[in-house]
Structure 1
Amino acid sequence: MNNILKWLPLLLFSGLLLAQEDESNITENKPSWSDTAQQIIVNQTVADQAIQQRFANILKISARIQDPEVEVTEGVLVLNGWTDDAADKKWVEEAANRTEGVIAVVNNIEVRLGEQWDLDPAFKEAMTLYDQFIRALPKISIALMVLILTWVLAKITVALATRGLGRKVSNPFVLRMGARLLAVPVVVIGLYLVLKLTGLTNLALTVVGGTGILGLVIGIAFKDIAENFLASILISIQRPFRIGDYILVDGHEGVVQSVTTRGTVIMTLEGNHIHIPNAIIYKNTIVNVTANPNIRQKFTVGIGYDDSITNAQQIALAVLLNHEAILKEPEPQVLVDNLGAATVNIIVYFWVDGQKNSASKVKSAMIRLIKKAFDEAKILMPDEAREVVFPEGIRIIQDSAEDTVKEPVVKSSEPQDNAVEADLSNDVDEIRKQSAENQLSKADDNLIKDEKN
């Protein structure tokens, strides 16, 4: 029951359409009566038989009406037959009204609608298209030859442009793109000739005239893609970094793995791949850590006010100069920074070769060794002084002398070498190896070919 109710509106709608179609057919096939503008003359000048014979010949020659029948009685022309076009019925009626001696016209011609599944029109249209194709074969053959010639000329243009630009442009991506741009006019002219030969003149003019409009539309629709593409060109030309460099950009840091037309892939120290769009890289500040292998590190150490500042500086400087990981040029420095609440704060500056050693590991070793040297030299490194207020005072109980005797505190000796700091090599080297082994893009897609050694 529910299914019947569901389909009931559709059935009613279909019945309504059929009823309208039947009504239209009835209206079209209803006999029509029309009076002519001629006067009714008592003595006929043209015989009914002559009118009948002449109009029958007209219908036969025109072949607009099927099974035509013509009857004329006292100047009244009665038409019978059928046609599949209402315009033919109207034309016959108008012709009858213009016939001499016709007083009135009774049009009984039926308009029969064609069969619903009549494939004859489609077949005729297919045959027409086939004939047109056969006639157009010579033009199509010539257009195909022009298209092949255009492809060959474009290839030659790219080869010649590559050879000519190769002497001035070293970047492979810019060289390839420039050569292809020089071949664009050849392709456009070739397509214009092909469309002109095939008779598509309007389309040919559209191709030539609409090239600029098409470029504008594409530029608006693919703004971000175009922006990244242009940024990749500028990056490949300016070379702010190389493959294998350790960079910091837009809050990300890692080793540069590849640069494509869409973005730059870097591998972090955690081994993760980060794909950054080239537009973001080009707009943001780029910190190239490995562009200059020398990295400066610093840390602060506080000594007591009773200790000699000069002595502390000489001891710290000696530790720095005696360590093989510290560069002699630029030379390390030990400078007084400020006077704290309980300490004199000294800043230790030194330079490390970031290609060979890890700056953080060397810094850790220097802090440990300078502390060891200060301990051996009896240089105190007190904590910040704190003022404690006791509102009710402090009650002091004096103990006997025997109870106050305490054993001296023995400080643990700091070793010169540390197993943790035995390997001061840079962790970036390991990331470079992993980056080379886990490439996300093909070598041909990389816009920057040179690698960091």
Structure 2
Amino acid sequence: MAQTINNQLSTMWYGFAESIPSLSIALILLMVTGIIASFAVKIADRLIGKTELRPSLRNLIETLVKLGVWLLGWFIAAIVVFPDLTFGSLIAGLGIGAVAIGFAFQDIFENFLAGVLIMLREKMRIGDIIECEGITGKVEHITLRETHIRSASGELTVVPNSILFKNPVEILTDVEQRCHTVVVGVAYDSDLDKASEVIRKAVESAEGVDAAKGIDVFAHEFNSSSIDFLVRWWAGSTPRAGHESRDRIVRGIKRGLDEAGIEIPFPYITHTFKDKVPLGNVD
């Protein structure tokens, strides 16, 4: 029994010693592969730099170039260590292994494929502000597995690419301008035509409003204490531009209605005691 174990250990040792030259050559090949991959990425980056490709698509091409060089290097190193291997048998073995790995790491490959497709499509570029599944923020980085989204308050959300690919994504900055709205209420005894004109002039005079795209002032509905106007205008598409534009519009409308002597009534709410009191007096 002891003799058998010694013979097996001796055989394993001699086999390992005989394979040391092949392992050394394979290790050198992998080191050379790393150097070649770095140069290949730099060359690809220089060639891509002369084009107008999107940053996400550039990252995809650079990643695929590096992946291709490394796969080729591993193939050659495996053939050096195992001389009986051929490219055909190695690719066939990889195909069978890929199926098994695919089942085991389904989510990872799903995110990988989603990342490739996201990088290839034209919409949702780095720098866009998006909203998806309750996540809102600026796209900072897109990788093959995940996308980094920075919220307006500074938090970073790492989102798996499959979520962005399978769910509707609202791109707030797809165009430079978008439509903004605000509701303005006036008292029931107000002259609605005059109020509409005052509101329109206030919106037209506000900075950043694109009057060429149209300004809408609609008598919208009968509220509990006011007749409400729905006001729509076009301005910058980023959230900050929207807040700034809304601030100027609200201030301008308030100033214009005050100067015209048109009342903006307090909203009334119903208490549990069935008393209607101004919102400003509620505890």
Contact 2:203 2:249 in 1 (8 A): yes
The CA deviation at 1:210 is 1.9
Q: Which residue of 1 aligns with 2:253?
A: 370
Q: Which residue of 1 aligns with 2:175?
A: 292
SS in 1 for 2:213: coil
In 2, the alpha carbon distance for the partners of 1:324 and 1:356 equals 16
Q: Which residue of 1 aligns with 2:184?
A: 301
In 2, the alpha carbon distance for the partners of 1:357 and 1:143 equals 59
Q: Which residue of 2 aligns with 1:249?
A: 132
Aligned length: 262
Amino acid at match of 1:173: N
1:183–1:158 Cα change, 3 Å: farther
In 1, the alpha carbon distance for the partners of 2:4 and 2:179 equals 87
Q: Which residue of 1 aligns with 2:196?
A: 313
Query: Structure 2 regions of 5+ residues with no counterpart?
Result: 270-283
Deviations 1:278-305 (A, max 9, x none): 1101111111222323232222233455
Contact 1:307 1:380 in 2 (8 A): yes
In 1, the alpha carbon distance for the partners of 2:97 and 2:52 equals 29
1:302–1:231 Cα change, 3 Å: same
Q: Which residue of 2 aligns with 1:333?
A: 216
Q: Which residue of 1 aligns with 2:68?
A: 181
The CA deviation at 1:148 is 5.0
Q: Which residue of 1 aligns with 2:232?
A: 349
Q: TM-score, normalised by structure 1?
A: 0.47
Contact 2:206 2:252 in 1 (8 A): no
Please say if 1:259 is aligned against 2:146.
no
Deviations 1:307-365 (A, max 9, x none): 43322222111112222243333232222334567754322212222459542343244
Q: TM-score, normalised by structure 2?
A: 0.71
1:263–1:124 Cα change, 3 Å: closer
Contact 2:25 2:80 in 1 (8 A): no
The CA deviation at 1:238 is 1.7
Matched ranges for 1:112-261 at <5 A:
126-127=9-10, 136=18, 141=21, 145=25, 166=47, 170=53, 171-179=57-65, 180-181=67-68, 184=71, 187-188=74-75, 191-192=78-79, 194-196=81-83, 207-261=90-144
Contact 2:75 2:87 in 1 (8 A): no
1:214–1:315 Cα change, 3 Å: same
The CA deviation at 1:366 is 2.5
SS in 1 for 2:231: strand
1:287–1:340 Cα change, 3 Å: same
In 2, the alpha carbon distance for the partners of 1:313 and 1:215 equals 67
The CA deviation at 1:249 is 1.0
In 2, the alpha carbon distance for the partners of 1:127 and 1:385 equals 94
SS in 1 for 2:107: helix
SS in 1 for 2:101: helix
1:268–1:133 Cα change, 3 Å: closer
Identical pairs, percent = 24
